[in-house]
Amino acid sequence: MPERARKIRVSCVVNGEAASFEAYPMARLLDVLREELKLTGTKEGCGEGECGACSIEMDGALVNSCLVPALQAQGAKIRTIEGLAIGGSLHAVQQAFISHGGAQCGICTPGMILAAVNLLARYPQPEGTQIREGLSGNLCRCTGYMKIFESVLAAVRQGETRA
């Protein structure tokens, strides 16, 4: 058997709280979030950085967590879908996805919502093309994207685009 690398200890902030875990240095951040921190809201759809179901925010930037090695999460500030609602209060984008049909089977939804929230943080009043482009790294097989766009626009109209 090949020599076993040691697991490392990583400390970071996840959804506003200090988090600490042990993992192989090149374990995927996706797996660490799901298995060590029990945050199963972030999903695996492809394992190759194509579908965006594993999207999270890392130091404010949208990234595919299936492509981030655990070691590089050291000291990072991470937000997953579980960190979006505050108290029991849904973010406007989450609320809009429910009322405007943005979620069907729901597997792309956590990544899609984070991508939308991240987009609105950068472009609070996005045009149609900006929404389409901003979400082009998140694949949805169910909706044809129409109601996802409508949900994002509904959230914008609500005026609430807290990051």
Partner 1 sequence: MRAYLPAYEMETPRDLAAALRRMASEPGVWKPFAGGTDLMVLLEAGKLPHKKFLNIWNLAELRGIEVSPEHVTLGALTTYAEVQRHEILTRDFPLMCRAAAETGSVATQNRGTLGGNIANASPAADSPPALIVYDAEIEIVSARGSRWVHYASFHTEYKKMNLHAGELVRRIRLTRTHAGWKQYFRKVGTRRAQAISKICFAGAARMEAGRIADVRIALGSVAPTVLHAVRVEKLLRGQRPGSAILQAAQDALSAEIAPIDDMRSTARYRRHVARNLLAEFLEVLAA
Partner 2 sequence: METRVIGKSVARKEGREKVTGRARYVDDLSFPGMLHGVTVRSPAARGRIRAIHFEGEIPWHEFTIVTARDIPGKNCIALLIEDQPCLAAEFVNHSEEAIVLLAHHDKYLLEEARRAVRIEIEPLPAIFSIEDSLARKEIIWGQDNIFKSFHVEKGDVDGACTGAAFVVEGTYETGAQEQLYIEPQGMIAQVSEAEGVTVWGSLQCPHYVHKALMILFGLPRERIRVVQTETGGGFGGKEEYPSMIAAHAALLARKSGQPVKIIYDRAEDMVATTKRHPSRTRHRTAVDLDGKLLAMDIDFTVDGGAYETLSPVVLSRGTIHAAGPYACPNVRIRSRAVATNAPPHGAFRGFGAPQSVFALERHLDRVAEAVGIAPDELRRRNFIREGQMLAVGQVVKEKVDMNGLMRRAFELSGFHVKRKQFAAENADGRGAVKKGIGFASFLHGAGFTGSGEEYLASEVAMEAIADGTVHILAGSTEMGQGTNTIFAQIAAEAMRLDCEQIKIVQPDTAYVPNSGPTVASRTAMIVGKLVETAGLGLLKLLTDGGFLQPGYTAADFSRACGEYVAKHGPLKSFVKYEHPRDLHWDDQKYSGDAYGAYAWAVYVAEVSVDMRTAEVLVNDFVAVQEVGKVINPVLAAGQIEGGVAQGIGFALYENVVWQEGRMVNAQMTNYVMPTSVDLPAIRVYFEEVPYGRGPAGAKGIGELPLDGTAPAIANAIAHATGVDVRRIPITAESLLEMLEPVHA
Task: Choose the contact partner of 55 out of partner 2, partner 1, none; CB within 5 to 8 A by kind.
Answer: partner 1
Q: CB of 130: closest distance to partner 2 in angstroms?
A: 11
Residues 58-87 that bind partner 2 (CB under 8 A): 80-82, 84-85
Name which of 7 and 75 has its Cβ closer to partner 2: 7
> Residues 139, 141, 147, 149: what is their CA dihedral angle, to the nearest 10 degrees?
20
Number of residues that bind partner 2 (CB under 8 A): 56
SS3 for 52-84 is CCCEEEECCEEEEHHHCEHHHHCCCEEECHHHC
Measured CA to CA, the distance from residue 51 to residue 77 in angstroms comes to 23
Query: Should residue 43 be labelled a site residue for partner 2 when binding is judged by CB under 8 A?
Result: yes
Alpha carbons 124 and 4: distance in angstroms, whole number? 48
Q: Are 99 and 154 in contact (CB under 8 A)?
A: yes
Residue 127 sits in the site that holds partner 2 (CB under 8 A): no
**Residues of this chain that bind partner 1 (CB under 8 A):** 2-5, 24-28, 31, 47-50, 52, 55, 61-64, 66-69, 71-72, 74, 115, 118-119, 133-134, 136-138
